[in-house]
Amino acid sequence: MEVNNVTVDPITESLKRLVKYFEKNNIPYVVVGGISVFVLGRSRLTMDIDIILDHTKLSRENFVNYLKENNFDASLNDFEGFDEKTHCSFFYKTGMFRIDMKGIYSDLDQESIIMAIIGNYNGINLKINHPLNLVLFKLKFGSEQDYEDALAVYIRQKEKINLNLLKEKAKRMNISSTVDLFLKEIKEFLDKQKNSS
């Protein structure tokens, strides 16, 4: 898509439109996943946008109308996942990539929204996952890419991560042993870096 001879990628354009709607309608949200990873310091491609939002404050009909008017492919049926406490997915027509949303279904989801920080993605100020929460959720999901994301974000954002809170939340999420191993590997990596300089 070209605007005033400047190419705007579809992810940036769709994020701008989503954030505008959430802010205008006072809907608490946090962008998680690959976008948060990118903003927090790990350059990598993402093919979707992941969002947690307070679905109880969302007028589905109004939202679907807004989406249709703004180049999204969405219907009311796409948001039945909120009723079942699962993900809801719809698409942005330019580039045909997916937007995945979930509501606040747990205390951890609520904490993600409360702890959200402001980040900047291609000129858009938006609420992104706090580094501590991002690391924990990436370790919980556990794919190789998730683990690499957690490593990169932890190393770049370690001064913003409270270790006691990280360990307490890891215990609540039943991933204490994973986090302990992760922290051991981080320490070994940083020690090795320190000794080689």
- Render pLDDT for 130-185 as a digit per residue (tens, 0 to 9): 999 999 999 998 889 999 999 999 999 999 999 999 999 999 999 999 999 999 99
For residues 31 and 126, give the distance between their C-alpha atoms in angstroms, rounded to a whole number: 8
In the chain, CATH 3.30.460.40 covers 1-129
**Mean pLDDT within 83-87:** 96
The whole-angstrom distance between residue 131's C-alpha and the CA centroid of its chain comes to: 10
Angle subtended at Cα 117 by Cα 91 and Cα 39, rounded to the nearest 5 degrees: 60
**Mean pLDDT within 111-140:** 96
pLDDT of 54 reads 98
pLDDT of 4 reads 42
For residues 43 and 131, give the distance between their C-alpha atoms in angstroms, rounded to a whole number: 15
- Mean pLDDT estimate for the chain: 92
Domain made up of 1-129: CATH architecture: 2-Layer Sandwich (3.30)
**Mean pLDDT within 8-30:** 94
pLDDT > 90? residue 193: no
